[in-house]
Amino acid sequence: AGIINFCANNYLGLSSHPEVIRAAVEALEKFGAGLSSVRFICGTQSIHKDLEEKIARFHQREDAILYASCFDANAGIFEALLTPEDAVLSDELNHASIIDGIRLCKANKYRYKHMDMQDLETKLQEAQKHRLRLVATDGAFSMDGDIAPLREICQLAQKYDALVFIDECHATGFLGPNGRGTDELLGVMDKITIINSTLGKALGGAAGGYTTGPKPLIDLLRQRSRPYLFSNSLPPAVVGCASKALDLLMESNAIAQSMAAKTQRFRSKMTAAGFTISGKDHPICPVMLGDARLASVMAEDMLNRGIYVIGFSYPVVPKGKARIRVQISAVHSDEDIDRCVEAFTEVGRKHGALP
């Protein structure tokens, strides 16, 4: 009782939105608990097709394909798309699921330094000998709340004839003027070829993931992507949640704007209090502390004050870069944000993180 959650990926508060919950219940009652099948046998209902169409429309793409998770979407795409004659160039801090997906494919692998455009250019030059090049990056990086320089990446991709893939798990629904993601935020919606994202964070928070992009690519994934072919369809209740979440976001971006204002409030108040917050304008607000033990005892003490946050240390983040990762949500009130800042200030002083 009285504990406020500041460590969920529930950026827009849609996981507990009454209309999202009602949509899930209605889908459960009308379409059943589950399909007991993969999509291509008897696991496709009208709601699956409708959700795929809605996702494609939301991102302004030709088509979309659903998976049980974005981990699966990332596991399935590289192997299906790339051959040993191709190359994939991946940011060194990409999410584990992108790394695993790339491991499964037989393409030539290049890893460029985190958001380092010079290094990416060098690697693209080396990769010119291959048939096809795919640059893969998180749109927003979950540990630091930093955003990939997509404009520069797209310019290089154009120069060296490469495709661009982005993972938008920490961007879909709230980054950009209409919440479409980092591609909209940075004005490159027409330059990104492939988007993978999750339904398990801002879009209702239940589960599920997807790829959206050109129709021939989606057709190929339906034929060849192993997590799609060999894993169960999304349950109707989950489909109902995500579908309603997208409806709400396509009607208005008021929820995303309210979250952005609260993020701004938290970041500016914490900075004024003397903390260093990594990233810029993103609801992932890593409070940088350096020392692993400090991050862990401070997080514990925050809980004693009714604020639920988690300390991250090596190996999840590099040595010496321990932090408490705060995540802001549209459901936080201004008072919640202020209470969190006050608790951080008290706890920071107590443990020597602030003077």
Which of residues 8 and 21 has its CB atom nearest to ligand PLP in the complex? 8
Is-catalytic flag, 142?
Answer: yes
What's the min distance (Å) between Cβ of 270 and ligand PLP? 23
- Nearest approach, Cβ of residue 338 and ligand PLP (Å): 28
**Min separation Cβ 196 and ligand PLP, Å:** 7
Q: Which of 48, 95, 130, 201 is catalytic?
A: 201
Per-residue b/e over 306-338, b at no fewer than 16 CB within 10 Å? ebebbbbbeeebeeebbbbbbbbbbbbeeebbe
Catalytic residue (one of 15, 90, 142, 329): 142
**Quick one: CA dihedral 265, 266, 272, 276, positive or negative?**
negative
**Residue number, 163 or 171, with CB nearest to ligand PLP:** 171
Active site annotation includes 170:
yes
Whose CA is closest to 210, among 250, 254, 166?
A: 166
Alpha helices by DSSP H, listed for 201-253, are 215-224, 226-229, 236-251
Shortest Å distance, C-beta 9 to ligand PLP:
7
* Residue 23 phi, psi (nearest 5): -60, -35
Q: Which residue is nearest to ligand PLP (CB)?
A: 69
Catalytic residue among 48, 95, 170, 262: 170
- The nearer residue to ligand PLP, 1 or 96, going by C-beta atoms, is 96
**Which residues sit at the interface with ligand PLP, rule CB under 6 A?**
69-71, 74, 95, 97, 138, 142, 167, 169-170, 198, 200, 209
Beta bridge partners of 127: none
Residue 111, strand partner residues: 90
DSSP letters for 89-107? EEETT--HHHHHHHHHS-S
Residues marked active site are found at 142, 170, 201
